[in-house]
Amino acid sequence: MAKANTPRIPRDWHLLGLLPGSILPTAATPPASYNPKPTMDFLRSKQAGIQHDFTGALAASDLFILDEVEKYGIESSISVIAYDPIQSLLAVGTNETATTPGKVYVFGQKRVRVTFTLTRKTGVKFLKLCDSRIVIVDTKSELSVFDMTDLEAQPARYSPPGIVSAVLTDPSLDWVFMGLQNGEVIAYDLDRQLKSPFLIPNLWRQRSPKARILPIVSLALHPRDLGTLLIGYLEGCVVFSLKQHAPTLFLHFEIPPGAPGADPERSMLNSVRRPRLCEALWHPTGTFICTTHEDSCLVIWDSRDGRIVQARTLQDTNVNIPCGPKPSMLSETEGTIIVRQPLFKVSWCCTDNPDDTSILVAGGNVSVMPNKGLTLLDLGPTPNMLTSSAQLVSDHFASPRRQRILPTPADLDVVDFCLLPRTNPHYAGSHDPVAVVALLASGELATLSFPDGQPISPALVFHPSLSLIHPRATTANLSPVNRQRWLGMTENRDRPKEVIVGGVEHAKPLRRYENRTVIQMAHLDGTVRIWDLGLADEIENEKIMEVDLGQVLERGVDLKIERVAMAGSTGELAVGMETGEVAVFRWGKNKGYGRTREDEALQGMSRTESGGATGAIRDAKSRTNPALKEGLLPLCVLEQHCGSVLHLACSDVGFVAIAYQTGHMSVVDLRGPTVIFHQSLASLTKEAKRSSFRKSHDKPIEGEKATCLEFGVLTLEGDGRQLIAKTLEYLLTLLTVDSEFSSIALFVGTSHGRIATFKLLPQGPGFACNFVNVAHLEGPVVKIIPLNSDSGKRAYATQQAVANLRDGIKVPGVLLGVTKSESRIFRPPTAKGAHKGWGEDFDCLSANVVELDTHGVCLTCVMSSGIVKSYSIPGLKEISEVKIGQWFEKNRLADIIVAGSGYIFGWTSETECLLLHMWGRGDSCADTPKDTLYNPNTPVPARPTISNFQWISGTQHVTAEDIDLLIGGPERPMSRKMIEQMRAEKRQAEMDARASAAAGASTQDGVFANMAKQIQERTEKLNIMGDSMDRLGESSANFAEDVNKFVSQQKRKALLGGITGKWF
């Protein structure tokens, strides 16, 4: 560093903040702002060539208080799913983590979401939505009941006397049945919040007294008869009558010797096998019972007499009949037995006609199948049991009308699923479903339409939190988008009917004059979803846009996305793949909207014949989704064969910069589109050496890669220094000519601490990208921010800044470069400027220049120690330090994004992200008002009842009130609703009494008003008395008339008695 009293006017005039052509000060006349105090921040500002303090009032450390703004995603892996078609709410339960208990997330329409946390560290094992209640049984077998009408209330809790292995609720009942590990069934009163005296003992102990463990594996109420309960034990199932409190039917599946079963071992073919029960369920009309077993057998029983109608697997039928192994059970190569998946879950579905049924199965396929998915057995209308033969009924289940596999992601088993009924919550939640949500073994979700099995994008029907695990997100990027531009980016496409429309969001403020923070989230299946992250305000455009790279690249594998970038002003999107392709999307209307698959095939053939590629760029306009009418359409695909994409930068003025794994870099002008630059970064040292008149000892750096890309508009330091000048006047002339204009610049930070500067200048019909020079810093570059050295504003390449270039408006600028080891402010491309090191204790992982309106700007850095440090500009003095390690995952601190508006985005787990605000009040997400979930104006529809034939045959009709009496007993306490109603009536009566007393004691009326009121009351009383006297007179007259009649009758009788006594 040169001494302060050494005048270096020809070289360092720009450090004084003067424009070319200004009168240069001499050493004897320093500027008026000169401060001789030798502080480090003052020296840094002078070295940087900035005369103003841009941080200002933002230097107050008490401003930096973090707020939790919003959370998205699911904190841990999903364990169970539930859906309520009446309230139209979807709920997911999660497992516990190392630090937090399991949670239940309830989702409604748009951005409606409420989180319920278990009171102790455990996971969710069973989850049911029953009217206004959320019924949870955790992995420690504790029952918790949350009330959706009072979201702030503590849950009702009950610890059953044993391990809970099955749970049953019904929308029309206030009871939850729990099957225990010891084989007993108990009931809990959801309304009174107490245990019922009802108990069903272990019924299977009568059949197998020597069995040590006979747990209950499933519970199911008869779909039309509330008085019949199907209890599944480990060895068989029992039909139990709640009316008689006695079992009526025992079902036990045995495979006789010689029968193939499902997965027989040759040594077991000639012996009796009794596969254990997995689940027992009813036919939608209750005519049949289906039991599933651990050997992947499905057995259909007649519910009247317990006769086996059909025993089958997904591939074979009549597996309980002795005939040797089936051909499908043997391998074609070795003749060995093929092992099947276990049956994870089975549901007996129906259309709006309960007799038109199908069976949906998760599992049960051959284990070597790559795409197992969900298997649908479309059975069609059920035969009439009165007129159909036993063989016809058996053939109905052996030969479905259609059997197909609903596709799910390859190599992942479906371990659970949840049907989404259209409106009816009865029939075990399987009445006329429109979609099915599958839970994969990885904890991710997959949504399919029912019954055709077409994939449904979560962007069209679900909350953004569910889209983060549908499938899992891999990378994210934030972009500020103009509000008006974002409101115009409403995607228009063919959408399925919304199935989750319940709940209401709480009121939020509306910010009309701020940019929207739009997130681009990349997922494992090659999709990118773009949506408004929200800043705890009202989101006017809450829709989620989606682009599918599989369709653009025309393949279904190798779709991992490495980087995403979006231009906030134009809405152009660039997506970089692990395989090296870069796809660019642009907003527009789809000319091929509504075309058929045949049209797509013809277009694919025409593309193959005509090519459609220009150099490394391929046209992708014809690869648009035909269901998309208006949205982000594919523009082109760039493929340079330089390894995976490391970084992307998408400018607002039509340029895209790409950095590759091999160290190459490309710049694309989207006006063509055309590649205007493609070169290795290792060759930049040679060019810098050739363009410098000073001797350089730099050598080409092998393995150097780009780590940061940024576009800006500013005035670069003159290239005249790099020429040999014989006189000082000639050098100043060159500097003045070269610095008369600003230009579009591209800054590239590398893994070896270099920042290369490129100019993008008009050339012919397009642009040319010219390398200028290189600046050297310490450590890999993390962030590059161009700044206006006069105003402190960020000098990005915006449309307005480029438009100002035509008017000759110059942008005096500096670069703020941040590396893992230091930060430096300098004039590009080569000046040293001012710098500040971080020390050896930690590295900088992420950084940005943030701005608070009316206060100033500062540099904010995320350190590897889990601390966010803020520094003044240009002095680089530390002004704040806050800890964020308690929020974010330590191994994902490098993925934290610091937005220019002061928001910090990061990952709290693999599937959950959090948004913080730097200048808040210390609020958390728990402090925000909760959304409304329950709608009392949507009552539960009436439950289906028994048919006329069943009633004639002797089946007794049982109502919900009868069940309350059977289970709760005659001494069941009053309902909470009744007690609350009585209390409300009592409070109302007291209020009315007080109001009457207050009205009687009121003295506010005038004298004449009181007199008139008294006269009116006296008149009313007199009228009442007159009416009473009239009625009394009428009564007296009637009484006298009755007495006269009686006396006359007595006289007549006496007279007649005397006469008859004389004569007879």
**pLDDT tens across 965-990, in order?**
999 888 888 877 778 888 888 888 88
| Distance of alpha carbon 969 from the chain centroid | 44
pLDDT at 955 over 50: yes
pLDDT at 645 over 60: yes
Higher pLDDT, 136 or 272: 136
Residue of 805, 102, 911 whose CA lies nearest to 445 = 911
pLDDT at 1019 over 80: no
DSSP 8-state secondary structure symbol assigned to residue 472: B
Angstrom distance (rounded) from CA 968 to CA 688: 88
Contact call for residues 900 and 514 (beta carbons, < 8 A) = no
Residue of 676, 641, 687 whose CA lies nearest to 660 = 641
pLDDT at residue 29, rounded to an integer: 37
Give me the amino acid identity at 280: A
pLDDT at residue 816, rounded to an integer: 95
pLDDT at 322 over 70: yes
Residue of 942, 938, 939 whose CA lies nearest to 224 = 942
Model pTM greater than 0.75?
Answer: yes
Residue of 152, 149, 938, 111 whose CA lies nearest to 505 = 111
Higher pLDDT, 855 or 1031: 855
Q: What is the mean pLDDT of the chain?
A: 84
Residue of 499, 559, 554 whose CA lies nearest to 528 = 559
Strands (E), 672-752: 674-680, 706-714, 743-750
CB 809: neighbour CB atoms within 10 A?
13
Dihedral sign, Cα of residue 548, residue 549, residue 555, residue 559: negative
**Residue 473, strand partner residues:** 523
Per DSSP, the three-state class of 655 is: strand
For the domain covering 75-159, report its CATH number. Answer: 2.40.10
Higher pLDDT, 1027 or 729: 1027
Give me the amino acid identity at 75: E
Average pLDDT over residues 286-313: 94
pLDDT at residue 916, rounded to an integer: 96
pLDDT at residue 870, rounded to an integer: 96
pLDDT at residue 212, rounded to an integer: 78
Per DSSP, the three-state class of 355 is: coil
Angstrom distance (rounded) from CA 976 to CA 973: 9
Question: Which residues have C-beta within 8 Å of that of residue 383, sequence separation ≥ 6?
Answer: 392, 393, 396
What tokens appear for 240 in the block?
């139990």
Q: Walk across the sheet containing 288-293 and list its strands.
A: 277-282, 288-293, 298-302, 308-312
Higher pLDDT, 937 or 1022: 937
Residue of 487, 478, 488 whose CA lies nearest to 533 = 478
pLDDT at 216 over 70: yes
Angstrom distance (rounded) from CA 19 to CA 683: 33
pLDDT at 1046 over 50: yes
What digits encode the pLDDT tens for the residues 858-913?
Answer: 999 999 999 999 999 998 999 999 999 999 999 999 999 999 999 999 999 999 99
Angstrom distance (rounded) from CA 11 to CA 874: 21
Give me the amino acid identity at 600: E
Average pLDDT over residues 272-297: 94
pLDDT at residue 34, rounded to an integer: 38
User: Model confidence at 9, in pLDDT bands (50, 70, 90)?
Assistant: very low
Per DSSP, the three-state class of 737 is: helix
pLDDT at 263 over 80: no
Contact call for residues 972 and 192 (beta carbons, < 8 A) = yes
What percent of the chain clears pLDDT 90, i.e. is strictly above it? 63
Report which secondary-structure segment, H or E, holds 127. Answer: strand 124-130
pLDDT at 667 over 90: yes
- Pair type for strands 743-750 and 754-763: antiparallel
DSSP 8-state secondary structure symbol assigned to residue 943: P
pLDDT at 767 over 50: yes
What percent of the chain clears pLDDT 70, i.e. is strictly above it? 81
Per DSSP, the three-state class of 58 is: helix
Angstrom distance (rounded) from CA 515 to CA 699: 44
Angstrom distance (rounded) from CA 383 to CA 392: 8
| Distance of alpha carbon 546 from the chain centroid | 14
Angstrom distance (rounded) from CA 743 to CA 714: 6
Angstrom distance (rounded) from CA 299 to CA 320: 9
Question: Which residues have C-beta within 8 Å of that of residue 769, sequence separation ≥ 6?
Answer: 667, 676, 677, 746, 758, 759, 760
What tokens appear for 1051 in the block?
């006289």
Per DSSP, the three-state class of 772 is: strand
What tokens appear for 874 in the block?
């240009």
pLDDT at residue 412, rounded to an integer: 87
- Pair type for strands 516-523 and 545-548: unpaired
pLDDT at 133 over 90: yes
SS (H, E, C) 525-544: CCEEEEEECCCCCCCCCCCC
CB 12: neighbour CB atoms within 10 A?
15
What digits encode the pLDDT tens for the residues 677-690?
Answer: 999 988 876 655 55
Domain chopping of the chain, boundaries: 52-72+838-927, 75-159, 253-467, 482-639, 680-811+821-831
What digits encode the pLDDT tens for the residues 17-75?
Answer: 333 333 333 333 344 443 444 455 555 555 555 778 899 899 998 999 999 999 999 99
Higher pLDDT, 360 or 604: 360
pLDDT at residue 609, rounded to an integer: 39
Dihedral sign, Cα of residue 500, residue 502, residue 505, residue 511: positive
Residue of 851, 711, 870, 836 whose CA lies nearest to 785 = 711
pLDDT at 1043 over 70: no
DSSP annotation string for 983-1026: HHHHHHHHHHHHHHHHHHT---S-HHHHHHHHHHHHHHHHHHHH
Specify whether the backbone of 102 is left (phi greater than 0), alpha (psi in -120 to 50) or beta.
beta
Residue of 751, 648, 677 whose CA lies nearest to 707 = 751
User: Which of these ranges, 155-159, 185-189, 312-316, has the smallest mean pLDDT?
Assistant: 312-316
pLDDT at residue 334, rounded to an integer: 47
DSSP 8-state secondary structure symbol assigned to residue 197: E
DSSP 8-state secondary structure symbol assigned to residue 715: B
pLDDT at residue 15, rounded to an integer: 30
- Pair type for strands 402-406 and 573-577: unpaired
Residue of 245, 273, 279 whose CA lies nearest to 258 = 273
Residues 106, 110, 114: CA angle, nearest 5 degrees: 25
Average pLDDT over residues 371-384: 92
What digits encode the pLDDT tens for the residues 470-512?
Answer: 999 999 999 999 999 999 999 999 888 888 999 999 998 887 7
**Residue 546, strand partner residues:** 529
User: Which of these ranges, 174-183, 196-205, 723-732, has the smallest mean pLDDT?
Assistant: 723-732
Strands (E), 131-163: 133-138, 143-147, 156-158
What digits encode the pLDDT tens for the residues 167-181?
Answer: 999 999 999 999 999
